[in-house]
Chains A and B, each alone.
Chain A
């Protein structure tokens, strides 16, 4: 186990033995255009200053000129790995504002898609984390199985990454006739594969030495920084939106909120790996019970929200994703604010990476599962 050096205190000026390194905006381990201005002494990180905005696309501002169904299409460009959750958040917010009750079938389909999306996202996350830690082979295994999920998406809605499947009032098309069959086939297959990956990385002694005890985020800090999702739960902060504020079909099913205790990199890894098992349990509970009925309710041609403020949160693969809409009764929102999980999670990095080595900074970033467009929006 590595030791954390307490003696490194933050000051703003660069001391004699220190030097600055720009990790990013183009760097293999930032997985996007994130710049970490890092102050190092030798290998030891003294200060990390995240600089964001390199891929800022002004989605919040753009939404002010768009109608509500159009906003949905923009949201999957933010956290492209949990595209469906983002779509769903806007749809739920609009539906709640208009007090539209969507058919049960829609709720089931959306929840199954949520969990499939979570599986796909966690797949990409674990394999990319493996790559960050130097296990390149893991990357290909992860992508290989993610492909099966993307094929299921493609079968039903034609898209693989940015799904755009949810629309206010329901989903865009009904599920493909093969949908249930291919989801079940995938889960049977994936239940066999996942233990293999645990053997490849989780049980590996090098991997455990690299992650155990590294970058500890305490429960108090997690709450103070607003850290949510698997990262927050690894610190023991019960923050699963699916449990605490259930939406769609989550009230109907039984599932565990996977919690960790240590808040170190290994715990963040473990929580996400356990979540994949839980996602499969959720899908199995739902897949055979999709009720018959319409896949969408008829909405008005022009959706106008009543005057007021509306907020809806969902659990994306990275944490709590919130949509806050201020409406002045027109067909465009007055102001939209997205609460993205990555933004809050990223800014704990200086707090927890200080005193660790540069290689640990990479490990910490990997287990935070950052998606840069989600941070920059």
Chain B
């Protein structure tokens, strides 16, 4: 197929070959790790800044404003300026905090996106960690972030932070279930947990269409639960500003605050990317039945572009939620999860299993 020519495997292979021919295997591994690490670091920093900018522009569009316009053309440099400001700000540590935990919390929070992003295939051949429990790895690792949030809430020695941290803890622990289960539903359909294979299986059609009704339910649940897991509105209780000023990160300043901020946006990207990979075919182009001409045109768009188009679509959807809905209350959030989403999910798994057994999927 035409989009095979956008495969990144030859490039990565040739780099690997060149290294292995010239230096020792150990050094090769070290150099490769360093390159990958630096690339991810760059990606997270740049993409995080871009998402902040995108959110401000999207929010401005909903609110009949222009958003940032002054720094750079259309305010494109605004977030960079903000980032520089955050870097240069004084790191304030309040007197009565638990110093070790207070300083540890932002690092735990920022570690999560670095771990999860490693299994995400951006394009054919552009994935650093591809092992057979990829989906499981993502759900497992993304739970670590809540520890950072809880620590931040506890160690800050601020009542608002504590309430925010506790809310966040209860919320994330609950919604992990829904995220995990909707992913499991799709794993049943795919028959594998390996991320690259899941994408490959969607060559003939995205899982959202292949698995029709149960997949659609799983997708809806995943987007809702994913929004809740990233602590975004209408589930932004942990930092509900009208109640808790800034919630768990009230006492943080400068780059430590930026870590929380960045982690939130990269987590948003990861939720969108997971939805893209599992439901919308990852970097696979959109094909429609037997329309050969249409399909050929679609194939000319590189996989990287497809991936980011889908990711941005979902990110926009999640931003749309935030700027439209009022915030839920903590008991309502837990009710939504335990009384509605979880039973729906359990039923959905059953439905999907039946469907796969009877071969009702396309």
Contact = CB atoms under 8 A, between A and B. Distances in A.
Interface in B28-75: 59, 62-65
Contact of A29 (B159, B163, B243): B243
Contacts of A10: none
B242 A29 contact: yes
Interface in A191-236: 200-201, 204, 206-207, 209-210
B329 A201 contact: no
B64 A144 contact: yes
A144 B241 CA distance: 22
B323 A134 contact: no
B240 interface: yes
Given A134-B236, A140-B64, A206 B328 contact: yes
A137 B331 CA distance: 24
A369 interface: no
Interface string A264-293: 000000000000000000000000000000
A359 B236 CA distance: 12
A359 B240 contact: yes
A303 interface: no
Contact of A358 (B241, B243, B324, B326): B243
Given A28-B242, A29-B243, A133 B330 contact: no
B329 A27 contact: no
Given A206-B325, A206-B328, A131 B242 contact: yes
Contacts of B325: 134-135, 204, 206
Nearest to B323: A137
B17 interface: no
Contacts of A27: 245
Contacts of A206: 234, 325-328, 332
B156 to A, nearest CB: 14
A160 B163 CA distance: 40
Between A27, A29, A132, A206, the greatest number of chain B beta carbons within 10 A of the residue's beta carbon is seen for A206
B175 interface: no
Interface in B274-304: none
Contacts of B331: 2, 357
Q: At the interface, is chain A mostly helix, strand, loop or mixed?
A: helix
Contacts of B245: 27-28
A362 interface: yes
A141 B64 contact: yes
A357 B63 contact: no
B169 interface: no
Contacts of A200: 324
B145 interface: no
B359 to A, nearest CB: 38
A88 to B, nearest CB: 33
Nearest to A357: B329
B329 A137 contact: no
A255 interface: no
Contacts of A2: 329, 331-332
A297 interface: no
Nearest to A130: B326
A362 B325 CA distance: 17
B63 A134 contact: no
The winner among A42, A132, A141 for most chain B CB atoms within 10 A is A132
A131 B233 CA distance: 12
Contacts of B62: 137
Interface string A10-22: 0000000001010
A43 B330 contact: yes
A121 B324 CA distance: 23
B160 interface: yes
Interface in B153-192: 159-160, 163, 166-167
Given A134-B242, A134-B327, A204-B326, 16 more contacts: A21-B160, A28-B241, A137-B63, A137-B323, A140-B63, A140-B65, A144-B64, A200-B324, A201-B326, A206-B234, A206-B326, A209-B328, A209-B329, A209-B332, A357-B330, A362-B242
10 contacts: A28-B245, A133-B242, A134-B240, A134-B327, A140-B64, A141-B64, A209-B329, A210-B327, A359-B237, A359-B330
